[in-house]
Structure 1
């Protein structure tokens, strides 16, 4: 979709909210999923089929220029060869951090990627690849295919992703929200009573990410048991083996996520609530706690809502990233924004 040119100095303006976009671009596009440890690339055909894949490590310790170079390398690796396949229309990037789609900038980020805050993601990648680039937060991009599949002309969605960190996306009345500088949907930074006094990755204290993320639950188990473990998988295994403290750590983390999500639901009234990420995949114990926390918070008109897993699997960020070329402003190699 072509957007009107953005006026000079308007990088902080909120982009026009996009509606329930298709889960695939109308022509081939490249989707890039930038995480803290790896970059996944895919060439996505017009029917949503992934026709080529490539993965490279994220050189996060080497700074933003190295990361942009690695993104360009991954994109080139999935370009069609031989001249018989249609050339991609552009590149969509699903990236960690607070991403401003209009400015094409990383507005805020943790230190998982060194000096990532302020990186010119859209313009920098367009200059390196010669292709137009659209960019957005990784969780918001992953929520795109889920949002597009919802029934009705103007659905509303709360999408929570719980893993090493906690992210999210919010869609209201058929529009995915970006907010000022792309910050909408960072649900891991909602206040949580269970996390009172705990430091968050953002530098504040008391946010739900500090208690309900994978590392948050793992650290909680260490505090409760006096026997720290390295990974959430160890906590889950101990709970399955009958360790009551491990089960309690998972319950508290899941409940905290559910309560925060329930409070958010009261604020804007979604018709659908989806929870993805690695932590919910640990099993029924976490889901039961999250759903109980959610049910305890929501107001009466929302009590029929039950958080559910996403319909799309691990490819959701790649499919959502490729679809960004039809829904968000495109940064061109010339420096133009349309």
Structure 2
């Protein structure tokens, strides 16, 4: 059997764009990333993404057989059209798959970024499991499900949209228009927004900062009471969300990735403890909660996994 060529992988996030060339064994041969700059609009961002892809190709050398693209949803994987993700304002009916295929003159496959990352973790995470849930805790919050070795897509192709599971039906407004979505509480953007609201008029060490989720984690570790309460609320909410997913999906593993997970054990330990304590005992005993081993490259690996899956089944 002919060994497949490496693929070019593109990852579109609300904060970062990333590109890399990934070999069939999951080895990342090149990796580059830049800021997304969503305020520049989709046309400018797509150009930056394609230029970044060219840079990744140049750094890796050699040829590739296809392009995989991970992007926040909703989107249509069959047509590669982006359908107005909350984290990418103005991306309404953007034909990303066509634009990528046209630029690189290669087959291009587009998938929800968290769904793609779930497949990447399944293929190359080294976990040796058949049932896995991946959650990205980043600018936004989302997830993907691998059930019995297969990515779950659902009837409309949007299955696994875990960021918009409602955890408080009378809760905070989410970017999708609904109230109380998990994303409205545990994404990096929402952590920063909640902190900004909480410190107004206070003597918190966060006051006066342009607050990020990283700032909240750091000041919580340093003992700031407002930051500590916010972080505890966030991990409790995420832990409860993971417990629900363990009960519903009964995975062997829940993998957490994305920028907020750079907090490491400060995030993982309370989330894991809360999730396994609150999940139904049989499901909890069959599952563990871990951090992705791939760091910033998890999105690129996910996009590559989508391309390889499509090449293998076409």
Give, in whole Å, the separation in 1 of the partners of 2:266 and 2:33. 33
* Superposition map of 1:100-179 within 5 A: 100-110=76-86, 112-148=87-123, 149-151=126-128, 155-179=130-154
Distance 1:223 1:61, change over 3 A: closer
Larger Rg: 1
Give, in whole Å, the separation in 2 of the partners of 1:298 and 1:263. 7
2:298 maps to 316
* 1:192 match: secondary structure: coil
Q: Tell me how many residue pairs correspond in the alignment.
A: 301
Give, in whole Å, the separation in 2 of the partners of 1:164 and 1:96. 10
Distance 1:127 1:187, change over 3 A: same
Q: Say if 2:243 and 2:276, in contact at 8 Å, map to a contact too.
A: yes
Give, in whole Å, the separation in 2 of the partners of 1:28 and 1:303. 38
1:201 maps to 175
1:90 maps to 66
Q: Say if 1:134 and 1:329, in contact at 8 Å, map to a contact too.
A: no
Q: Say if 2:77 and 2:111, in contact at 8 Å, map to a contact too.
A: yes
Q: Say if 2:214 and 2:260, in contact at 8 Å, map to a contact too.
A: no
CA RMSD of aligned residues (A): 2.7
* Superposition map of 1:271-310 within 5 A: 271-304=252-285, 305-310=287-292
Answer yes or no: is 1:66 the counterpart of 2:44. yes
Give, in whole Å, the separation in 2 of the partners of 1:329 and 1:205. 39
Distance 1:211 1:62, change over 3 A: closer
Q: Say if 1:101 and 1:328, in contact at 8 Å, map to a contact too.
A: no
Q: Say if 1:254 and 1:290, in contact at 8 Å, map to a contact too.
A: yes
Give, in whole Å, the separation in 1 of the partners of 2:12 and 2:172. 28
Distance 1:35 1:223, change over 3 A: closer
Distance 1:115 1:181, change over 3 A: farther
User: Cα deviations across residues 33-83 of structure 1 (Å, max 9, x unaligned)?
Assistant: 1223442222223443333344455353343333333333222333359xx
Q: Higher helix share goes to which structure?
A: 2
Query: Which consecutive residues of structure 1, in runs of 5 or more, have no partner in the other structure?
Result: 1-24, 331-337
Please, what TM-score do these two structures have when normalized by structure 2? 0.84
Distance 1:292 1:47, change over 3 A: closer
Give, in whole Å, the separation in 2 of the partners of 1:318 and 1:283. 21
Please identify, of 90-99 and 41-50, the stretch whose mean Cα deviation from structure 2 is larger.
Answer: 41-50
* 2:290 match: secondary structure: coil
> Which of the pair has the greater relative contact order for Cα pairs under 8 Å at 6+ separation?
1
Distance 1:123 1:252, change over 3 A: same
Give, in whole Å, the separation in 1 of the partners of 2:266 and 2:16. 29
Give, in whole Å, the separation in 2 of the partners of 1:224 and 1:63. 31
Give, in whole Å, the separation in 2 of the partners of 1:223 and 1:289. 24
Shift of 1:187: 1.4
Shift of 1:253: 0.8
Q: Say if 2:236 and 2:270, in contact at 8 Å, map to a contact too.
A: yes
Answer yes or no: is 1:214 the counterpart of 2:159. no
Give, in whole Å, the separation in 2 of the partners of 1:310 and 1:219. 25
Give, in whole Å, the separation in 2 of the partners of 1:65 and 1:176. 30
